[in-house]
Structure 1
């Protein structure tokens, strides 16, 4: 599936080819802190099928629990997380952040990881009162 997207302010933009069956949720505490929310939704793409089309993202490097470096790219202006990748064997794939994808309404997570860090209230949000805008 062809996708495109951008950060909140529009400075960084990209396009990619993805497999919509590989969208996943991560509940790890790193993803919670990096997003400032309960979990992160990632859409993987092969590195050769991902292209930055505007603006240059800024890089933040963190170490994963496996000891390998994870390269976190975000907009230098608005701070939106755009994608992540790794080094060596991990460099062949990028993990695009769902919220930046223009076609995000067409994508649905197919798996979850780090469920041991999952916040207990996640399953109950569908029962909360809601309104269409604020």
Structure 2
């Protein structure tokens, strides 16, 4: 796959581009990821924050605390509800892209499960 990687929400109101190679992809099985994905796990594609550009629309956000009490900003489409990103306030240089929102997911290979 060549850069940029593109993605967006289910209804198409929000579109984004990833301008640099991701740092890692993992599957998280914590209760919060299970709830947000309605599945056994959530996929998180960690990318440098400056490499993610929203090119259309504006996500809505809400903040929650994770299991360790750290704040996480959750960005999603206000129209269709698709979760797009998690911004961990304790790691401001990176953002977790919800990998299933990429236009092409064929190249994704998780490094592990947590």
TM-score with structure 1 setting the length:
0.78
Q: Partner residue of 1:104?
A: 105
Give runs of aligned pairs for residues 1-134 of structure 1, distance below 5 A: 2=3, 3-16=5-18, 17-19=20-22, 22-87=24-89, 89-113=90-114
Q: CA deviation at 1:12?
A: 0.8
TM-score with structure 2 setting the length:
0.91
Paired residue secondary structure (1:91): coil
Structure showing greater radius of gyration is 1
Aligned partners of 2:84 and 2:101 also within 8 Å: yes
Matches of 1:103 and 1:32, distance apart in 2: 23
Q: Where do 5+ consecutive residues of structure 2 fail to align?
A: none
Paired residue secondary structure (1:99): helix
Matches of 1:63 and 1:79, distance apart in 2: 20
| Structure having the larger proportion of residues in helix | 1
Matches of 1:30 and 1:111, distance apart in 2: 18
Q: CA deviation at 1:18?
A: 2.7
Aligned partners of 1:18 and 1:44 also within 8 Å: no
Q: Where do 5+ consecutive residues of structure 1 fail to align?
A: 114-134
Number of residues of Structure 1 aligned to a counterpart in Structure 2: 111
Paired residue secondary structure (1:30): helix
| Structure having the larger proportion of residues in strand | 2
Aligned partners of 2:10 and 2:80 also within 8 Å: yes
Runs of 4+ in structure 1 over 3 Å off = none
